[in-house]
Amino acid sequence: MASSRHVSKAPSTPTTPTTPTHSNISISNTPQRLPNGVYVPMLAFFTPEDEIDVPATQRHTARLLAAGVTGLVVHGSNGEAVHMSRKERRTVIKAVADTVRHEVESHNPVPIIAGCSASSLKETVELCQEAKEAGATHALILAPGYYSSILTNDMIVEYFHSVATNSPIPILVYNFPAAANGKDLDSDTILRIAAHPDVVGVKLTCGNTGKLARLVVDVPRVRGGSDDFLVTGGSADFILQGQIVGGHGTISGFANLAPRACVRIGELFDQGKFAEAKALQHQVARADWLAIRYGFVGVKAAMPFFWGKGEQAATVPRLPFKALDAGGVSVKEIQDGMASVLRIERKLAASAVAA
């Protein structure tokens, strides 16, 4: 997974939104190909008063950048966008974009991908416009599955092409059947969508590695021979499997907790250290299963375990969801099941400091 990782400045996390005083910013300019690597669908952080916690958002952005991830995703399924107003969504994107400007050398751009899904073309395009204005470089779009029982593949293709034509930023297809009322896009449909030049990637949270393999080999055919389309898996339990068939990386919620371990799998693969990559993938897959089972609530519950007790307050989810009992059986299962990856993550962080 040859990645285009950014170069971070000396670590320093802003506690309030910063305003750039020059135009030499570090957010990627379209229509460049999205680089291979690990993209993190960031959690949402709230204050005890149930407002967007900007300092916590920026703190987490900075730590992910320092870990060497390739890009950031806001308002994915881990980001509770469905629990936010449009104003709050813009606040989160601005907080992330301001931190990227603050933390990263301007010559090494970091993509910021914003979830902009809605049930209608009109609202989806409006969300794309607002995301761009707030600092996003790309939009991540679900199939509009509310009326999935009467939604044909032709309608879906037309929808994505219309979004891509009218959006001010390039889009990626987000294939997540559970979040789209069961609508699972097959590889033939995604290939038809990928023929549009402003559709520049896909996230396969369906977990279908056969579909991933077909897209890797067939997308250039529908794009005039160009290798300008990012094909990623949607969870950390099959990073290596995706690499083996030519995939370009992952957009994984578990990378909120163990970004360095996720990045390291790709590095080991690129270095030909397949036995080490396989061993690390085994550890990550075990831990990621807990993140998958418990969802974003479980990832939030693990944040203090990985990043310190200071993250406890900011990681309470919005109703109807509640934080898992810190002393309960579920949190103990998460901590025990993720302990080995936490040790790996700390070892990788220590090695990075010593290098």
Q: Tell me the per-residue pLDDT of 284-332, one tens digit each, with 9 for 90 and over.
A: 999 999 999 999 999 999 999 999 998 988 899 999 999 999 999 999 9
**Start-to-end C-alpha separation, the chain:** 22
Mean pLDDT of 32-53: 96
Rounded to the nearest 10 degrees, the angle between the axes of helix 274-307 and helix 329-354 is: 110
Tokens in use for 88?
């709050």
Encoded amino acid at 256, one letter = N
| H runs (alpha helix) in the chain | 54-66, 86-103, 121-134, 153-166, 187-194, 209-222, 239-244, 259-270, 274-307, 329-354
Inside any domain, residue 297: no
Inside any domain, residue 278: no
Q: Where are the beta strands (DSSP E) in 34-137?
A: 37-41, 71-74, 112-115
Inside any domain, residue 295: no
Inside any domain, residue 299: no
CATH of the domain at 91: 3.20.20.70
Which amino acids are annotated catalytic?
Answer: 203
15, 52 contact by CB (below 8 A): no
Least confident of 8-22, 109-123, 274-288, 339-353: 8-22
Inside any domain, residue 234: yes
DSSP single-letter state for residue 225: T
- 34: helix, strand or coil: coil
Quick one: pLDDT at residue 44? Answer: 97
| pLDDT digits 0-9 by tens, 100-159 | 998 877 667 899 999 999 999 999 999 999 999 999 999 999 999 899 999 999 999 999
pTM of the model: 0.90
Tokens in use for 252?
């994984």
Inside any domain, residue 339: no
Mean pLDDT of 152-175: 97
Closest to 138 (Cα-Cα) out of 106, 176, 109, 101: 109
Domain extent, residue 57, equals 37-271
Domain count, the chain: 1
Q: How far apart are CA 92 and CA 215, in angstroms?
A: 32
